[in-house]
């Protein structure tokens, strides 16, 4: 499960609608916060709490009830009273203990710190409303940003339990539905029945699959329905998706929903590597004996792989446990069960590999200078006022000139310098970003951006994003606008590299001033010379244990000279194809040979360009 894709609560500051509302309208609004500051100063436990999570809503099961865990307020007690009835006779001390219990659950949740405070304020207001200290009912319709159901329903369960405990909801009846299965406005109104107190809509961006006229009608009906039922029947509505941008994308034509109805926001944050580690250990220890070596190696595995994954954190935990159990042979789990993984390289190791690459002298020098600048800035601290380094980049060059290879190294270098949080490179092209229908492109682009947050997003053949002359669609412009916004909003948590042919990229950048103004570095990957291509070919043979005689090299040079000026020449890709064709030919030529020398030696007869033009 990949948590690299979580959105942090960077925008919910004191000047938010929530902050202004609470401070301006009620002087005595959250009196327990000041009278019980110790409640709010408690630190979150590092262990991930075990919660009961409902099965994900599916297209065939859209009215599945939300589970409310073990703290169900309508469950009949042994004396015949319901929990709601018991709240009427609890002492003040007992009620405070209950509040503390809710606050502890919030502290142990995956909400951001600011969102924890917001939710505690909501619960305190429900408490004051129940005590008749305040009389105005506030419909806490809200957005919850979470990339998995476990985190979402962890929060939903707290809301249901606390609001029903303080009679802020008439009951604990709740229903959920994914916007992927909302087909018309009737699907909206039928959920706001008298029996439901909470309605949860997941997958907000799923509504964008609908035609715009249908979507607008659904949103308008939804607006009026929420306004009617929130105030008259006390029904709370929650809309959820993986990011704020995805939720905003459906509200472009309805500002009332965006700014007036769903003006409360709760952000989740991913657990860190230590929390993931403890969760996996706790799960495995229930049924198996773990060796000390396994526990040490498991932490190494998590530290190396968790920050690279595109899975959500629950998915990552499940996937890791499955791999370990697949590798085990008995009830004792040892270090041999740890899955294979590639360790992060140090910055010296990365530059050693970079310098071993043929050519690219200008690229090597620019990256060296960049590292020197970042390290100097870190070393100087606040003594020098050096402008923040803009690391969004453009890689210019023909196919096979090393752009993707260097992009992977850039990710490793920036990770080692603590400039990005995760050592990961997300590689995409235009087809991964642009949708097929109106309204699909922005969420599709945003989904890719979310996967890349904390790392590097590499967009190959980026010139394909440009709108071609006579093209009637605005999909490309929508994609570019989303990218520009993300480059600005996440400039401290994302590096974007646009790559492509020099000529096409030049035209693309000139037509998109918003992108070019945000580019900090442009690296040109020049075509390899014939000598450099021969050197690359020799290294390929050498790594495989072959010896190449001089006549074979001469023939290789002739073939390279023959093709290097053709359109679409693949540089190192062409050489790779030449190498593979020659190895196949060599196998045929030596099928009757037994001499080790003959088997290891590549001759001119083995070098062939047969059908190679198809592989440029």
Task: Please list the helix, strand and coil fractions of the chain in percent, rounded to the nearest 5, in that order.
Answer: 50, 10, 40
pLDDT at 564 over 80: yes
Whole-angstrom distance, CA of residue 263 vs CA of residue 516: 34
**Predicted local confidence at residue 488, as pLDDT:** 84
Regarding whether 325 and 236 lie in a shared domain, the answer is no
Whole-angstrom distance, CA of residue 324 vs CA of residue 318: 10
**Predicted local confidence at residue 341, as pLDDT:** 75
133 assigned to some structural domain: yes
**Predicted local confidence at residue 226, as pLDDT:** 87
pLDDT at 188 over 60: yes
Whole-angstrom distance, CA of residue 250 vs CA of residue 225: 17
4 assigned to some structural domain: no
Residue range 424-472, pLDDT digits in tens: 899 999 888 887 776 678 888 888 898 888 899 999 988 888 766 655 5
CATH of the domain at 540: 1.10.8.60
Mean pLDDT, residues 487-508: 86
Nearest to 5 by CA among 452, 443, 551, 590: 452
Regarding whether 329 and 355 lie in a shared domain, the answer is no
**Predicted local confidence at residue 493, as pLDDT:** 85
Q: Which of 8-22, 44-58, 129-143, 596-610 has the highest mean pLDDT?
A: 129-143
Confidence of residue 11 (pLDDT cuts 50, 70, 90): very low
Regarding whether 416 and 439 lie in a shared domain, the answer is yes
384 assigned to some structural domain: yes
Residue entry with tokens 């509504």: 207
360 assigned to some structural domain: yes
Whole-angstrom distance, CA of residue 308 vs CA of residue 314: 15
- End residue of a domain, out of 303, 337, 371: 337
Burial class (CB in 10 A: 0-12, 13-18, 19+), 595: exposed
Residue range 48-69, pLDDT digits in tens: 333 333 433 333 333 344 533 3
Phi, psi (deg, nearest 5) at residue 547: -115, 130
Q: How far apart are the two ends of the chain, measured CA to CA in Å?
A: 38
pLDDT at 485 over 90: no
For the chain, state the CA radius of gyration: 30
Mean pLDDT, residues 65-84: 41
Between 474 and 426, the more confident residue is 426
Q: Angle at Cα 51 formed by Cα 47 and Cα 52, nearest 5°?
A: 160
Regarding whether 239 and 99 lie in a shared domain, the answer is yes
Whole-angstrom distance, CA of residue 95 vs CA of residue 440: 48
Mean pLDDT, residues 384-411: 84
pLDDT at 112 over 70: yes
- Bridge-based pairing state of the strands 174-178 and 332-333: unpaired
- Cβ contact 493:453 at 8 Å: yes
pLDDT at 260 over 80: yes
Nearest to 447 by CA among 205, 182, 108, 160: 205
Six-digit token string for 497: 């590299």
Burial class (CB in 10 A: 0-12, 13-18, 19+), 259: exposed
One DSSP character per residue, 479-502 reads HHHHHHHHHHHTTTT-EEEEEE-H
Give the 3-state secondary structure of residue 4.
coil
Regarding whether 213 and 293 lie in a shared domain, the answer is no
- Cβ contact 201:191 at 8 Å: no
Mean pLDDT, residues 464-482: 74
- Cβ contact 367:413 at 8 Å: yes
Regarding whether 580 and 456 lie in a shared domain, the answer is no
- End residue of a domain, out of 525, 543, 562: 525
Regarding whether 501 and 562 lie in a shared domain, the answer is no
pLDDT at 520 over 70: yes
pLDDT mean across residues, the chain: 79
- End residue of a domain, out of 337, 367, 386: 337
Whole-angstrom distance, CA of residue 324 vs CA of residue 338: 6
Q: Dihedral sign, CA of 256, 260, 261, 267?
A: positive
Distance (Å) of CA 583 to CA 302, 548, 559, 590, 597 = 39, 11, 16, 10, 15
Regarding whether 448 and 411 lie in a shared domain, the answer is yes
**Predicted local confidence at residue 378, as pLDDT:** 77
- As a dihedral over the C-alpha atoms of residue 330, residue 333, residue 336, residue 342, rounded to 10 degrees, the angle is 140
Residue range 275-286, pLDDT digits in tens: 899 899 999 988
pLDDT at 6 over 50: no
pTM: 0.60
Whole-angstrom distance, CA of residue 505 vs CA of residue 228: 53
Regarding whether 422 and 297 lie in a shared domain, the answer is no
Mean pLDDT, residues 321-345: 84
**Predicted local confidence at residue 59, as pLDDT:** 32
Tell me which H or E stretch contains 200: strand 198-202
pLDDT at 552 over 80: yes
**Predicted local confidence at residue 348, as pLDDT:** 87
Distance (Å) of CA 202 to CA 142, 148, 272, 335 = 12, 10, 25, 40
Regarding whether 381 and 409 lie in a shared domain, the answer is yes
pLDDT at 124 over 90: yes
Phi, psi (deg, nearest 5) at residue 124: -65, -35
CATH of the domain at 380: 3.40.50.300
Q: What percent of the chain has pLDDT over 70?
A: 81
Whole-angstrom distance, CA of residue 588 vs CA of residue 56: 55
Burial class (CB in 10 A: 0-12, 13-18, 19+), 587: exposed
Regarding whether 225 and 114 lie in a shared domain, the answer is yes
Give the 3-state secondary structure of residue 521.
strand
Six-digit token string for 577: 């194809």
67 assigned to some structural domain: no
Q: Dihedral sign, CA of 221, 224, 227, 228?
A: negative
Q: Which residues contact residue 293 at a Cβ distance below 8 angstroms, ignoring those fewer than 6 apart? A: 334, 335
Distance (Å) of CA 82 to CA 87, 123, 197, 287, 390 = 9, 21, 18, 37, 60
Confidence of residue 125 (pLDDT cuts 50, 70, 90): very high
- Cβ contact 576:614 at 8 Å: no
Whole-angstrom distance, CA of residue 343 vs CA of residue 152: 33
Total count of domains within the chain: 4
Q: Which of 45-59, 120-134, 246-260, 481-495 has the highest mean pLDDT?
A: 120-134
593 assigned to some structural domain: yes
Q: CA 114 from chain center: how many Å? A: 21
Domain range for 558 is 530-615
417 assigned to some structural domain: yes
Nearest to 390 by CA among 529, 250, 488: 488
Distance (Å) of CA 312 to CA 126, 309, 318, 473 = 33, 8, 10, 33
Burial class (CB in 10 A: 0-12, 13-18, 19+), 65: exposed
Regarding whether 604 and 519 lie in a shared domain, the answer is no
64 assigned to some structural domain: no
């Amino acid at each position: 499960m990949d948590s690299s894709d979580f959105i942090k609560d960077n925008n919910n500051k004191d000047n938010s609608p929530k902050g202004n509302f609470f401070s301006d309208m009620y002087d005595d609004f959250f009196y327990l916060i000041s009278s019980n500051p110790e409640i709010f100063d408690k630190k979150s436990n590092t262990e991930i709490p075990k919660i009961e999570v409902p099965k994900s809503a599916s297209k065939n099961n859209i009215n599945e009830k939300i589970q409310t865990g073990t703290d169900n307020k309508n469950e009949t007690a042994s004396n015949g009273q319901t929990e709601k009835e018991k709240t009427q006779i609890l002492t003040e001390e007992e009620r405070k203990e209950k509040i503390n219990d809710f606050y502890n659950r919030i502290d142990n949740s995956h909400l951001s710190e600011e969102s924890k405070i917001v939710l505690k304020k909501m619960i305190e207001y429900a408490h004051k409303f129940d005590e008749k200290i305040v009389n105005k009912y506030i419909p806490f319709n809200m957005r919850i940003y979470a990339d998995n159901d476990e985190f979402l329903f962890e929060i939903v369960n707290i809301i249901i339990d606390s609001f029903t405990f303080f009679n802020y909801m008439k009951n604990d009846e709740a229903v959920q539905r994914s916007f992927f299965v909302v087909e018309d406005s009737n699907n909206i109104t039928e959920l706001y029945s008298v029996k439901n107190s909470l309605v949860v809509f997941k997958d907000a961006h799923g509504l964008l699959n609908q035609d715009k006229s249908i979507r607008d009608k659904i949103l308008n009906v939804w607006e009026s329905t929420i306004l009617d039922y929130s105030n008259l029947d006390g029904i709370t509505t929650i809309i959820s998706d993986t990011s704020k941008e995805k939720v905003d994308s459906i509200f472009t034509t309805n500002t009332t929903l965006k700014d007036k109805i769903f003006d409360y926001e709760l952000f989740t944050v991913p657990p860190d590597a230590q929390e993931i580690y403890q969760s996996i250990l706790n799960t495995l220890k229930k049924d198996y004996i773990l060796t000390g070596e396994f526990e040490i190696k498991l932490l190494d595995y998590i530290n190396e792989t968790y920050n690279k994954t595109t899975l959500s954190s629950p998915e990552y935990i499940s996937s890791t446990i499955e791999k370990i159990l697949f590798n085990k042979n008995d009830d004792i789990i040892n270090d041999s069960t740890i899955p294979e993984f590639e360790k992060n390289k140090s910055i010296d190791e990365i530059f050693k590999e970079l310098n071993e690459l043929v050519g690219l002298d200008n690229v090597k020098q620019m990256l060296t200078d960049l590292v020197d600048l970042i390290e100097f800035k870190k070393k100087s601290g606040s003594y020098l006022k050096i402008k923040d380094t803009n690391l969004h980049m453009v890689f210019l060059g023909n196919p096979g000139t090393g752009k993707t290879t260097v992009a992977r190294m850039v990710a490793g270098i920036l990770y080692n310098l603590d400039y990005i949080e995760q050592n990961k490179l997300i590689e995409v092209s235009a087809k991964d970003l642009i949708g097929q229908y109106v309204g699909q492109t922005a969420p599709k682009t945003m989904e890719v951006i979310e996967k890349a947050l904390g790392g590097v997003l590499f967009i190959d053949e980026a010139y394909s994003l440009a709108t071609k002359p006579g093209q009637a669609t605005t999909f490309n412009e929508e994609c570019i606008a989303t990218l520009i916004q993300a480059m600005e909003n996440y400039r401290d948590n994302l590096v974007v590299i646009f790559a492509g042919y020099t000529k096409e990229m030049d035209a693309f950048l000139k037509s998109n001033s918003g992108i070019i103004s945000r580019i900090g570095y442009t690296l040109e990957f020049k075509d390899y010379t014939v000598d450099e291509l021969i050197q690359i070919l020799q290294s390929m043979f050498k790594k495989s244990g072959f010896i190449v005689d001089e006549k074979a090299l001469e023939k290789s040079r002739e073939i390279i000279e023959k093709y290097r000026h053709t359109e679409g020449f693949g540089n190192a890709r062409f050489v790779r194809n030449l190498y593979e064709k020659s190895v196949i030919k060599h196998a045929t030529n030596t099928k009757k040979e037994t001499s080790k020398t003959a088997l290891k030696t590549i001759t001119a007869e083995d070098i062939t360009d047969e059908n190679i033009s198809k592989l440029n």
